[in-house]
């Protein structure tokens, strides 16, 4: 005669796995951990790639700004060179527009 004992399915499966299936459980845990690490690594790689792309764009913008500053410096340098030549060789002087009396030398 069969006894009236009732065992839960989860309990039976868990007992069998602990008694006879330790290797498959260990392998299942290893596969799950490996899958989580793969997903985490892929996500981090995508994040770092996007960050690198942003830094490259910032570098390009700074490089363009640097070139513009060099051009501006050269343009201002030419102006100061012309001013220096005018004051040294041609003896020109700055005129203050606020002065009312302008003296003209013959």
Q: What is the mean pLDDT of residues 72-84?
A: 78
Judge whether 83 lies within some domain: yes
pLDDT at 102: 57
What percent of the chain is modeled with pLDDT above 90? Answer: 42
According to DSSP, residue 90 is labeled S
Judge whether 17 lies within some domain: no
pLDDT at 44: 98
Alpha-helix runs per DSSP H in the chain: 9-20, 22-88
* Total of domains in the chain: 1
pLDDT at 3: 52
0.85 exceeded by the pTM?
no
Judge whether 94 lies within some domain: no
pLDDT at 2: 53
Q: Which two tokens stand for residue 93?
A: 């002087």
Q: Between residues 40 and 18, which one has the greater pLDDT?
A: 40
- Domain range spanning residue 39? 22-88
């Amino acid at each position: 005669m069969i006894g009236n004992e009732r065992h839960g399915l989860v309990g039976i499966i868990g007992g069998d796995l602990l008694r006879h299936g330790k290797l498959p459980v260990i392998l299942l845990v290893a596969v799950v951990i490996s899958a989580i690490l793969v997903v985490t690594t892929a996500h981090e790689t995508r994040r770092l790639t996007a960050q690198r792309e942003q830094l490259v764009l910032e570098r390009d913008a700074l490089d363009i700004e640097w070139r513009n500053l060099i051009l501006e410096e050269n343009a201002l340098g030419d102006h100061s060179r012309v001013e220096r030549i005018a004051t040294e060789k041609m003896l020109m002087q700055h005129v203050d527009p606020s002065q009312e009396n302008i003296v003209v030398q013959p």
